Amino acid sequence: MFISIMKMRYFTMSFVSENFEVLCEIATCIAKQFGENCEVAIHDLTLPYDKTIVFIENGHVTGRKIGDAGTNTGLEILRGTTECKDQFNYVNHSRSGRILRSSSKYFRDENGRVVGSLCINYDVTDLILAQRSIQHAANMMETADTKETFTSNVDELLEVLMQDTINLVGKPVDRMTKDDKVIAVKYLDSKGAFLIKKSVEKVSEFYNISKFTLYNYLGEIKEQDDLPASNKQNHVY
């Protein structure tokens, strides 16, 4: 019944609309096989790009729903700036920093034009965290690469620095503890992030904390920096 109602949304018959029922059944099968961490989305790329998702299972993985837009990759494919080819098991990231294993299968019409896609986004964050815990226990810590970031404005630079803290801590924001967030704030402070205008508001929002809490973190960091070296060694941020 649900699928039949969804098919009524289409004003023109595209590959996706013509095969909508079977595509939905395939998407549901994949989602049920891999569980609630596996998002499967069907895109009709003949629709306006701001509402290409016509069916989705486990949309909480990327925070999307029916009627939402596709990704930048799909837009580039439609524009012709990116070669359209199926991709399987590549690494991706959600907006909250969760780690995804993704696959994209594209559908073409009789003229070879891309008209739809079936996309899988499998959240493997918990698996990666477990792997990192094992590596940590075995004293196999990874070393971070030094990198220089080129951006067109300071807002982008702040966003990059905040995203860097996810790699530094080894967890997405929604899994960070208070100590993790203090480590992240200390990193941002060391990189001069708080010299950027309105950075306090943006950092507070990114880590889901109040400005008052952020100032408390900065106070703790300053107090620790002011301690004699002999008193610092056992302190954990």
**66 and 97 co-located in one domain:** yes
* pLDDT tens digits, one per residue of 52-110: 999 999 999 999 999 998 887 777 777 776 777 898 999 988 888 889 999 999 999 88
Number of structural domains the chain divides into: 2
Asked whether the predicted pLDDT for residue 42 surpasses 80, the reply is: yes
pLDDT digits (tens, 9 = 90+) for 96-146: 888 999 999 999 988 888 999 999 999 999 998 888 777 776 654 454 455
Mean of the per-residue pLDDT values for the chain?
A: 83
**Is 106 found in the same domain as 195?**
no
Host domain of residue 212:
144-231
Same domain flag for 121 and 14 = yes
CATH number of the domain bearing residue 70: 3.30.450.20
Element (H, E) at 115: strand 114-123
Residues 24 and 108 in one domain: yes
Helix (H) or strand (E) holding 31: helix 20-34
In a domain? residue 14: yes
Q: Is the pLDDT of residue 172 over 60?
A: yes
Given 75, 100, 126, which residue is the final one in a domain? 126
pLDDT band per the 50, 70, 90 thresholds, residue 184: very high
69 in any annotated domain? yes
* Residue pLDDT, tens place only, 192-201: 889 888 999 9
Rounded mean pLDDT of 169-180?
A: 93
Which has the higher per-residue pLDDT, 38 or 84?
A: 38
Q: Are residues 119 and 6 part of one domain? A: yes
Task: Kindly state whether residues 115 and 50 are assigned to the same domain.
Answer: yes
pLDDT band at 235 (very low <50, low <70, confident <90, very high): very low
Contact in structure between 174 and 99 (CB atoms under 8 Å): no
Both tokens assigned to 50: 């701001």
Contact 165, 188 (CB under 8 A): yes
Residue 137 lies in a domain: no
More confident residue, 112 or 39: 39
Cα(83)–Cα(102) distance, integer angstroms: 17
Residue 120, pLDDT score: 96
Mean pLDDT within 36-41 = 96
What pLDDT is attached to residue 21?
A: 95
Contacts of 116 by beta carbon, 8 Å cutoff, 6+ apart:
14, 15, 16, 42, 43, 44, 45, 46, 106, 107
State the pTM of this model. Answer: 0.56
Q: Which two tokens stand for residue 199?
A: 């950075």
Asked if residue 99 and residue 18 are part of one domain, the reply reads yes
Within-domain flag for 166: yes
Q: 133 lies in a domain?
A: no
Please say if the pLDDT value at position 49 is more than 50. yes
Q: Is residue 132 part of a domain?
A: no
> What's the pLDDT at 232?
46
CA distance 136 to 103: 30
